[in-house]
Amino acid sequence: MALRDLPSVDTLVRSLEGEGLPRLLVVDLARDAIDQARKITAAGGTADPHQTADAALQALRSLRHRPVLNATGVLLHTNLGRAPLVPAAADAARAVATSYGNLEFDLDKASRGGRSEYVHRLVCALVGAQAALVVNNNAGALLLALATLGRHHPVAISRGELIEIGGSYRLPELMAASGARMLEIGTTNRTRLADYEQALDDGAGMILKVHPSNYRVVGFTDSVPLDKLVALARQRNVPLVYDVGSGLLDESAPWLDGPPPRWLRGEPGIRQVLDVGADLVTFSGDKLLGGPQAGIITGTAHLVSELAHHPMARALRIPGPTIAALTVTLEMYADGKGSEIPFWAMASASYDSLERRSEAVLDASHVEAEVVPGASVPGAGSVPGAEVPSPLIKISEPGAAVLWPRLLRATPPIISRRDAGRVVLDLRAISPEDDERLAAALESACRS
């Protein structure tokens, strides 16, 4: 294309409009595409600004936040938003977001009130805590605890608990950002009570215990039982803060029928950790709890009060819609309806029911595939190594190199797994109401 043949910005914009992006962004894309084509043409090359702009537009559209079907078998997929909300929680969030509310207004006293007080009462009742505080996420909860309680003296932590989770979140870096000075003790695989005692002798003013929620250290290992850490912290009059992370309210999972599932074994419950005597416990709202993104802090009243009055608490506070969604989620546990929360409903679905659904999807899609035994995982750095038996759909043709990107372009996009060159679908994290859409998209993608 010669320089004189390059389209005007307005002409190119008109050809791109109707693609669902604001005109402001389309104009920017058109200008960039024409500038790029002009430079390439002037250098003796060829370029089509229409193709360039269209490719850039499609790439930009893919960045917009939209629903997808999670066929990965990772129930709390961090990249896909972790826990889906129960519809009542989403409705409550929308109602608050589209109107005024008593966010910080006491209707009885007709005066300014406290944010999240009702949620705090719910949390305390569910886990047996003296007090609670809710912030934006669990990293924020731990940051606030460290900034409040670890600012004057070093914080003792086992080297085996210096975690890194997704997104390059490293605990030592968070501790440094909080202003707390980290005092590493023990080794990666063995930390003894004497190591904590020595740290306190060396001036540590806080003990931090972190649940390694996305890995396990096995073999020649040693760690200090929580009750012994509690006794030491009380003897030395220092706070013991336990970052549990995953948000399992109770190890016995009383909201489920029967005993807790085997895959939950070894996961600490908030109630049990508090019963043993941890001073503060932090955990996420959008992992095993099954609610919105939030960081929940529970524990002794005077320590929670210290955190609540720290200037950082205001910077980390949660908005009204999140409070509303978290309220409904917690109320479901309080009413004995926790099994209806989407995460627990997905995790508890029987193998047989998922197998029937998988076979029905294959029948409806007319795809050459087989249903084979496999497993789903909780995900989101929760219950490492745990697997929930699940049937898997393994598609023979076309291969993953062809089919996987086609499924990503489906409406809605389907996120699947790839195994040995084949696409694998796990229905455990897909609502039965979406089976028909999944089958239609699968048939279309395989026939394209």
Q: Yes or no: say if 357 and 432 are a contact pair by the CB < 8 Å rule.
A: yes
pTM of the predicted structure, to 2 decimals: 0.92
| Token pair for 241 | 């803060």
d(CA 50, CA 53): 5
Per-residue pLDDT of the chain (448 residues; tens, 9 = 90+): 678 888 999 999 998 876 678 999 999 999 999 999 999 988 888 889 999 999 999 899 889 899 999 999 999 998 999 989 999 999 999 999 999 988 888 888 888 888 889 999 999 999 999 999 999 999 999 999 999 999 899 999 999 999 887 667 889 999 999 999 999 999 989 999 999 999 999 999 999 999 987 677 778 888 999 999 999 999 999 999 999 989 999 999 999 999 999 999 889 999 999 999 999 999 999 999 999 999 999 999 999 999 999 999 999 999 999 999 999 999 999 999 999 999 999 999 999 999 999 999 999 998 889 999 999 999 877 787 889 999 999 998 788 889 999 999 898 899 999 998 899 999 999 999 999 999 999 999 888 7
For the record, the structure tokens of 440 come out as 């239609």
Between 3.40.605.10, 3.40.718.10, 3.40.640.10, 3.40.50.620, what CATH number should domain 87-340 receive? 3.40.640.10
The secondary structure of residue 230, as a DSSP letter, is: H
Distance CA 329, CA 87 (A): 10
3-class SS of residue 236: helix
Provide the residue ranges of all domains of the chain, joining segments of one domain with +.
3-61, 69-81+344-447, 87-340
* d(C-alpha 253, C-alpha 225), whole Å: 22
Contacts of 192 (CB under 8 A, 6+ apart): 186, 222, 224
Domain 87-340 in the same topology as domain 69-81+344-447: no
DSSP readout, 52-70? HHHHHHHHHHTTS----EE
- 69-81+344-447 CATH, one of 3.40.50.10140, 3.40.50.300, 1.10.10.10, 3.90.1150.110: 3.90.1150.110
CA angle, corner 80, sides to 77 and 84, nearest 5?
80
Q: How far is CA 63 from CA 29, 60, 67, 142, 243, in A?
A: 15, 5, 12, 30, 33
Count CB neighbours of 57 within 10 A. 19
